[in-house]
Each structure stands twice: as structure tokens, then as C-alpha cells.
Chain A
């Protein structure tokens, strides 16, 4: 799965957590979950759970703490997928 494909799946995961219609429509690598999408910080753990389920990966606490932007999240997902495949 390449970066663009991961972002596409990530978009569908994030969508229910944000009411920022415009920001959602323009999600790119630089999008910040809290500043741009105004996602309630308590929901970040729910997004991680959804990511784990959707990509069939496990995310450790250290990685979780970094998942605040689309870029960081995509990188972590890519890493875990690769580790999984290896």
C-alpha cells in the first residue's frame, strides 16, 4: 500500500470525528488533527483503535503519541505494514 492509498483510507477513518467540512475536503500530508480538523483530543485514541482495526496492525504507545498529523500517522502505518509484511 503506497502513501496515497494509506491517506485515502485514513480519510474515511477520520471523517466521523471532525465537523470541519472544508478542512476534511482538503486533507493532505500537512493536515493537523487538532489544529486543522478540530478533533477532540479524547478522540485521538479512538482514531488509533480504528487504524489498528482497518490496517490490521498494532500501534505501541510511543507511536500513538506521535499520531497528531496525517504525515506522522501515514508514516507510522507504512512502517507497521512493512514490519507486518516482513
Chain B
């Protein structure tokens, strides 16, 4: 028998909010977390603005021991642990210091790279012939699975503990991997999520590719402009999002708060064939991914109330809308609402999917559609495809029943998840 899978806990470490309450309030109000970054300016970056979670020393010390903090130089692990532990606690699950691991709980916590600042420090030490000075903290912070290893140690997880990596689709993929594991009865609870480091060494490669905007260095909050006619590249971001997925049976048995249900989804690749390349999506693959996700979830296109897009604020935004429209076969005015968190927080790379799924789940559980910011000048290529009323620019308070979330990544890969409001009798 297959399990139904629900979401019972949320945690967030986003540039515009590092608690669920703060983040929920920020996305409703359209509050930007994009700020000028003096280090990027000093290093001659073209794009000198970015999104970084703001965390006090005091907050951080609640999640790590003084010994762990002594050599911690991995913002990705920091964000992931905070979001992950918060989600666990939000789900009403205890962090017992039992000798016995929790055999039924695991984590799939993704990332692109881990501890890039730690890696840089270690490389410099090695090149300075000081290999001995590395100590014991380099491997655990620079291995890709560092974040899931830290989380599992703190929670005592005894089921699958792994880190997935699929570029900007990482976060959405982590949720689908966790979903499958519970659905097939191999785990009862999985902490899904993803994280992404902050700073010049993670963002530099994108800056050099000229995919980030360089036109808004003096107006950071206006810089990330998904669906706008003046979108000129994405603003890099960072952070982490975390969701506790659980079998419906387990959630009901322990009377847990249920945020939403994961109805299904799909991941695929365009194989870098046709129009697909290392960095551009194959539209056929995107459309197939959306259609397969709907089929997997047993949902019809007209049932979708809201689409949470990938929509990074590059020239590809219009192509994404076209792909949704082709996949769903809906007319201009029958198209669902569509929004993008990236206007407020930028593109959080490997963390984008999980952070945006947290936003999506909040919309379902609280009954609102967050506004798109910085698209007062809608891209005419987009308004030729869908009615402008589909692109809310102020918050809408109304029940949302079905939400489709997609993320796309370098390597021509796609992920789409269908979430459903959980009816509380």
C-alpha cells in the first residue's frame, strides 16, 4: 500500500526572513531581502547586490556547540542546520538525546557545493605548506553531504541520510526524493530541503557568465525583476529551506499540524538536445515534466490555482511562461495565478527550490497569494501569453487548493511538484 504524504513542519533561512513567521509576513508584504554587498564591490563584481540571511551570533549559538562554532566556516551548513532543526521542532518532533537512532526518520538535504569559504581557507593552507594546520574540520564542512551529516547528528536520524545535487532544481528534487521514500513505505518521516552558501566564491562564476544583473547596484531592492520588461539578469541569493514530510497516517496518529499534502511530481532532463544546452532548457522537456507531474498527482490543469515559477528575472522568463501555457493547454485568461519569490530574495541557487516550496506551502496553509514585486512594467512578451491579472502585484487573501511548483537547473534538468491544501475537518 502506498502512503499519502503530508507536510508537518517548516523551517526557513531566507534573505528576507529567518523564521517562518518573519518570512510569511515578508512575502505577503513584498519585502525585499536584497542588499548591497561591500565585499562584492571591493572584488570588482559586476553585480554588487545579493540576498543573504541575517543571523545574530546569539541565534546561531542556539544550534551549534561552541566547539563546532570555533572552526565553522560554511554558511551553507549554518543555514541548513538552522532551517532543518527549526522545521523539526515546528513539526512537534523532539530532539531526544537517546542512544538509539530514530530508525524511521531520515533526511535528503541538498546543496550545490559545501563550505566554499572553508575550502578556500584549506587550499591556501595547503599551498602555504601548512597541511598539518588543517585540523579535523575541513572534510566534514567541505564534503557535499556535510549539511545532511550535521543535521542527522543533531536529530539522531536512523533512516536514509543523503544530500542530492541538481543545480537550481536541487531543492524541489529533495522534496520529491523524500516524498518517494515515504510513499513507498521505506521511511515514516523525512526532513527535505536544500541550502546554498553565501559570498563571492559561490557567486563569482555566475557573475563572470554575465547572467547576473549589473544595472541595479545602487538600488538593491529593485534589482531582482522577474517577469519585468526591464529584467536584466538574476540577483544571487543564499539561504536554506526545510520541510518535514511525513506519512499521513503518522501525522494523524500524533495529531500533528498538517500544512499541506504532496500530491506528486516529476523530475526529468532535456538531455541537452534540441534547444536544450548545459545552461538553456529544452522546452519539450520542461513541458513534459509539468505534464508528468500533473499526471503523477492525478490533477487536471484547470484545477491549478497558483503556479510558483522558477522565474529568475532573465530573458528566459517569457519562455518559461510559454512552456507552462503549452503544457497546461490553458487560454490567456484561464491561466492560474503565477508568482516568483525571487523578486524579493533573488535566486538562491541550490536553496531556491526549497525556500520557494516553503513559500508555496504557506500560501496553501494560510490562504494567500504573495505579490510579485518589481514587475510594475510587465514584459510584453509575457502579457501576450497570459492576462496581466494572472500576475498579482499585491497580496491576495483567498483559499488556495492546488499549487504547482517548478524549478529548473543547469544541465538541462527540471523538477515539478504538485502541492494540495489539506482539508482540516
Interface residues of A (CB under 8 A from B): 16-17, 42-43, 45-46, 49
Contact = CB atoms under 8 A, between A and B. Distances in A.
Contacts of B71: 46
B136 A45 contact: yes
Interface in B62-76: 66-67, 70-71
Contacts of A43: 67, 136
Interface residues of B, number: 9
Contacts of B136: 42-43, 45-46
Task: Classify the secondary structure of A's interface with B.
Answer: helix
Contacts of B132: 49
A35 B71 CA distance: 25
A57 B136 CA distance: 20
Given A42-B136, A43-B136, A46-B135, 13 more contacts: A16-B66, A16-B67, A16-B70, A17-B67, A43-B67, A45-B135, A45-B136, A46-B71, A46-B136, A46-B137, A49-B132, A49-B133, A49-B135
A38 to B, nearest CB: 13
A1 B135 CA distance: 27
Nearest to B66: A16
B29 to A, nearest CB: 42
Which of B66, B133, B136, B137 counts the most chain A CB atoms within 10 A? B136
Nearest to B136: A42
A49 B136 CA distance: 10
Nearest to A61: B132
Nearest to B137: A46
A49 B134 CA distance: 9
Interface in B119-155: 132-133, 135-137
A16 B65 CA distance: 9
B64 to A, nearest CB: 13
A42 B133 CA distance: 14
Contacts of B137: 46
A54 to B, nearest CB: 14
A16 B66 CA distance: 7
16 contacts: A16-B66, A16-B67, A16-B70, A17-B67, A42-B136, A43-B67, A43-B136, A45-B135, A45-B136, A46-B71, A46-B135, A46-B136, A46-B137, A49-B132, A49-B133, A49-B135
Interface in B42-95: 66-67, 70-71
B36 to A, nearest CB: 37
B390 to A, nearest CB: 54
Contacts of B67: 16-17, 43
Q: Which 3 A-B pairs have the closest CB atoms?
A: A42-B136, A46-B135, A16-B67
A45 B135 CA distance: 6
B69 to A, nearest CB: 10
A57 to B, nearest CB: 13
A45 B138 CA distance: 12
Nearest to B135: A46
